[in-house]
Amino acid sequence: MDIQLLAAVLIGICVLLFLILRLKFQAFIALLITCIVVGIIAGMEPAAILNSVEKGMGGTLGFVATIVGLGALFGAILERSGGAQQLAQAMLKLFGIKNAHWAVMLTGFLVAIPVFFDVAFIILVPLIYALQKQTKKSLFLYAIPLLAGLAITHTFIPPTPGPIAVADILKADLGYVIIFGFITGLPAAIIAGPVLAKRLSKKMHITVPQDMISTVAIPENAPSAGMILFIIAIPIFLIVCNTVVGSPLFDQNSLPQWLRYATGLLGHPFVALIIANVVAWYVLGIKKGFSKQELLAISTKSLYPAGVIILLTGAGGAFKEILIDTGAGKMIATSLSGDFFPPVIFGFIVAAIVRILQGSATVAMITAASITAPLLTTIVNGEEVLLFTQPQLAVLVIAIASGATIFSHVNDSGFWLVKQYLGLTEKETFRSWTVMTSIIAVIGLAVSTILWYLV
């Protein structure tokens, strides 16, 4: 093993954590500084370092920036239309008050597909307040399932930014990521949601905080739950169709050309999300009385948080490129080759360590994906060749996302968001939210490891 390259990687990770944890640098600039540090220690020329950064940023953002931007636009229109609240009310009516904890879990699972975690939680938190006041049971019975549904979808299922970024860095097919995200997410949501909630609610009786007053009202002309489900399903259905049609399940030569053309175009994430946005713009916006100026303001505002995620993801792509160009990635791949330590375990561990140390799940996912990516390719006749199948790469995305979910604590903004809105002490937040995120991570690792050897 090359000591210089190993030192470059280890020092680079230490620099990244020091800048974020100690100096409170924004992760975007911290990642860029780390790229330069790793390049210098590895002995790269200045021009080569900067070219790697530019190549990594550009190669990543070409895909991710478009997807994250379209996803943010889609979620904003859904949020402002009142569709999320309507979906929650429909789920409650379907399941009944007795099974309300299952209803809120499923609501969170569906709403977080197009809407960012924190926004979705704030939109839906009045629902769990109302349930607690009506039933007089512990707020945990409804809050934990909601949080589990939101966290799992936000982490596992595109078009949320985390899995999008990891899938792009690892060159994984989004259709497979969606399929395996659902397969992994559902059991994790059940165990970390309703099952854990019943146990916690018996041990700790939490009521609605006195200073928390609902400010989110359902518009009078809010769209139906069925319409919301239909619009959310549009991009998922198109992307998965493209994956299935292009898979080895079908003989590509025997398929009609028009079918391959249609699914290839409409099922690309860009086009699928554009279609969903256009439908949402008209059905949830124009038909519900929003003016074109209001819709423009809503969509413009939604792109502000997306900008931070896009830049952060681009910096992660630059970090990946530095590891590849220095040869550090190849060194890691060689030292970790073999069945004893497969990439699915390695990716999880790296993501978990970074997550626990610095808090941000997105940073953890991007860092782990950047370090893991060189393990997945080899050079044959001067060309980069993937060593694993697309289903395996998609499973690896889920494993990394699982690691980035583990043990949310005081350095994670989500920890404080949950503490504030549920009126908890730090100890209670550790015993509920932190335990929940760790359960999600462990189940995610278990399922993705099984899938790794099955696919």
Query: How many Å apart are CA 35 and CA 46, to the nearest integer?
Result: 12
Rounded average pLDDT over 204-223:
72
Query: How many Å apart are CA 372 and CA 169, to the nearest integer?
Result: 9
pLDDT digits (tens, 9 = 90+) for 100-135: 999 999 999 998 887 778 878 877 887 888 889 888
Handedness of CA 314, 319, 320, 325 (dihedral sign): positive
Q: Tell me, what amino acid is at 163?
A: P
What is the predicted pLDDT for the residue at 211?
A: 62
Q: Looking at 66-75, 181-190, 224-233, 331-340, which range is the least confident one?
A: 331-340
pLDDT of 340 over the 60 cut: no
- Tell me the C-alpha to C-alpha distance, in Å, between residue 399 and each of 7, 147, 394, 402: 26, 20, 9, 5
Rounded average pLDDT over 70-76:
84
What is the predicted pLDDT for the residue at 336?
A: 55
Residue 199 confidence class, pLDDT cut points 50, 70, 90? very high
Provide, rounded to the nearest whole percent, the portion of the chain with pLDDT above 70.
95
pLDDT of 143 over the 70 cut: yes
pLDDT digits (tens, 9 = 90+) for 238-270: 988 988 888 777 777 888 999 989 999 999 889
What is the predicted pLDDT for the residue at 330?
A: 62
Q: Residue 172 corresponds to which tokens in the numbers above?
A: 């994984």
Residue with tokens 């941000």: 360
Picking from 75, 70, 162, 68, the residue whose alpha carbon sits closest to that of residue 120 is 75
Which has more pLDDT, 316 or 146? 146
**Mean pLDDT over each residue of the chain, to the nearest integer:** 86
Which has more pLDDT, 64 or 438? 438
- Tell me the C-alpha to C-alpha distance, in Å, between residue 381 and each of 183, 378, 384, 385: 37, 10, 9, 10
Query: How many Å apart are CA 239 and CA 278, to the nearest integer?
Result: 16
Q: Which pTM does this prediction carry?
A: 0.79
pLDDT of 218 over the 70 cut: no
Q: Residue 331 corresponds to which tokens in the numbers above?
A: 């060194």
DSSP state of 375: G
Which has more pLDDT, 331 or 303? 303
Q: Residue 10 corresponds to which tokens in the numbers above?
A: 């280890």
Residue 147 confidence class, pLDDT cut points 50, 70, 90? very high
What is the predicted pLDDT for the residue at 332?
A: 63
Residue 380's SS3 state is strand
pLDDT digits (tens, 9 = 90+) for 359-393: 778 888 988 898 888 888 776 777 777 789 999 99
Residue 190 confidence class, pLDDT cut points 50, 70, 90? very high
What is the predicted pLDDT for the residue at 36?
A: 95
| Three-state DSSP string of 60-96 | HHHHHHHHHHHHHHHHHHHHHHCHHHHHHHHHHHHHC
Query: What is the residue-wise DSSP string for 217-284?
Result: ---TTPPPHHHHHHHHHHHHHHHHHHHHHTSTTS-TTTS-HHHHHHHHHHTSHHHHHHHHHHHHIIII
The domain segmentation of the chain, as residue ranges, is 3-454
pLDDT of 1 over the 70 cut: no
